[in-house]
Amino acid sequence: MTLKEKKDRLVEDLGLIEDPQERLGYIIDLGKHAPGLADEYKTESLRIEGCISNLWLYPSFEKGVCRFQADSDAMITKGLSTLLCDLYSGHCPAEILEVDPSFLAQVGITQHLSPNRRNGLTQIGNRIMGYARLHLNS
């Protein structure tokens, strides 16, 4: 499945959850069940600035595709970052750069977040895009 197809499916699935509180509940549940990161990856260099909670992103690049793992000490932040990591992982940098993470606004995710959480979400999206740009010609 292409990244655009995955994004479209995610938008469709999240759109089926009409109640904003239920949608956030789904995101929190996703965070509760996400594996997270080993403590060795919870370093300052992998920490995402701008979020009220601690948020880490561990990117990797192998065989032409990017992979992303995230963790946070707040379940909503962990859920949102896991959602983005799952979406973008396994795709080449060029494909990643074609799908801007701002699509989450289409399904009402960002409108119900505090400014600090929105900022954290923006920062993790920026970091994913930056990592893809870094490996674009690799």
Supply the pLDDT for residue 105: 83
Supply the pLDDT for residue 6: 96
pLDDT band at 46 (very low <50, low <70, confident <90, very high): very high
Supply the pLDDT for residue 103: 85
Contacts of residue 34, Cβ cutoff 8 Å, sequence gap at least 6: 70, 71, 78, 79, 82
Four-CA torsion 44, 102, 132, 83, nearest 10 degrees = 70
Whether 59 and 91 have beta carbons less than 8 Å apart is answered as no
CATH of 3-134, one of 3.50.50.60, 3.40.190.10, 3.30.365.10, 3.90.1010.10: 3.90.1010.10
Q: Tell me what the pLDDT averaged over the chain comes to.
A: 92
20 φ/ψ angles, rounded to the nearest 5 degrees: -55, -35
Residue % of the chain over a pLDDT of 70: 100
66 φ/ψ angles, rounded to the nearest 5 degrees: -95, 150
pLDDT in tens, 65-115: 999 999 999 999 999 999 999 999 999 999 999 999 988 887 788 887 888
What is the rounded distance in angstroms from the CA atom of residue 108 to the CA atom of residue 87?
A: 17
Active-site residue, 51 included: yes
Q: Exactly one of 51, 66, 85, 92 is catalytic; which is it?
A: 51
Supply the pLDDT for residue 116: 83
